[in-house]
Amino acid sequence: MTNIFHLAFPVDDLDAARDFYGNVLGCDEGRSSDHWIDFNLFGHQIVTHLSPNYVRQAAANDVDKDSVPIPHFGIVLPMEDWRQLAERLKANGVNFVIEPKIRFAGEVGEQATMFFMDPAGNALEFKGFNDLSTVFAK
C-alpha cells in the first residue's frame, strides 16, 4: 500500500478555498462540514480548516537566488505534469510569488519550481523533476 500524506491548515474563507483547491488546482473534494473541507491533492489528503483569526508571520529563506516563503507545502510531480499544472495556473490568472522556472540547472537535483499563495495566504510550491529518483540526490 502507498502511504498517503495528510496536511491540515487554516483558511479564512471556505468558499474561496473550495474554489481555489477545487476549480483552480483541480483537487477532488472529499468530506466537508461548515468548518473544514477535505481535498485530494494528487493522491494526498489536505484539509482546509476555517480559522478566520489565524495570524500568519511572513518569513522567507534564500534558495538559489529566490526569496522562498516559509512555511509552504506542495507536491513533487513528473516534469510533464508540472508543466501542465503551470499552464493551468497561468490560464486561471494565478499570481506567482516565484514564476515557474528551473532551479539548480545542470546540477544534481535540477528541478522546476513555482510558488504561489492560496486565497488565505498559504504558500504552495510545486516541483517538477525529469527523474523522480533524483528528488533526494546529493
CATH of the domain at 32: 3.30.720.120
pLDDT of residue 23: 96
Domain that holds residue 67: 60-134
Q: Express each pLDDT in 61-118 by its tens digit.
A: 998 888 999 999 999 999 999 999 999 999 999 999 999 999 999 988 899 999 999 9
Percentage of the chain beyond pLDDT 70 is 99
pTM over 0.85, yes/no? yes
Q: Express each pLDDT in 7-29 by its tens digit.
A: 999 999 999 999 999 999 999 99
In a domain, 1, yes or no: no
State the total domains in the chain: 2
Examine the domain organization and report whether 91 and 40 are in the same domain: no
Examine the domain organization and report whether 86 and 22 are in the same domain: no
In a domain, 55, yes or no: no
CATH of the domain at 89: 3.10.180.10
pLDDT of residue 100: 98
Examine the domain organization and report whether 40 and 93 are in the same domain: no
Examine the domain organization and report whether 129 and 67 are in the same domain: yes
pLDDT at residue 55 tops 90: no
pLDDT of residue 56: 82
Examine the domain organization and report whether 122 and 85 are in the same domain: yes
Examine the domain organization and report whether 72 and 43 are in the same domain: no
> Dihedrals φ, ψ of 82, to 5°?
-65, -45
Q: How many CB atoms lie within 10 A of CB 3?
A: 6
In a domain, 89, yes or no: yes
pLDDT of residue 97: 96
- Angle at CA of residue 89, ends 130 and 4, nearest 5°: 60
No. of H helices and E strands in the chain? 2, 10
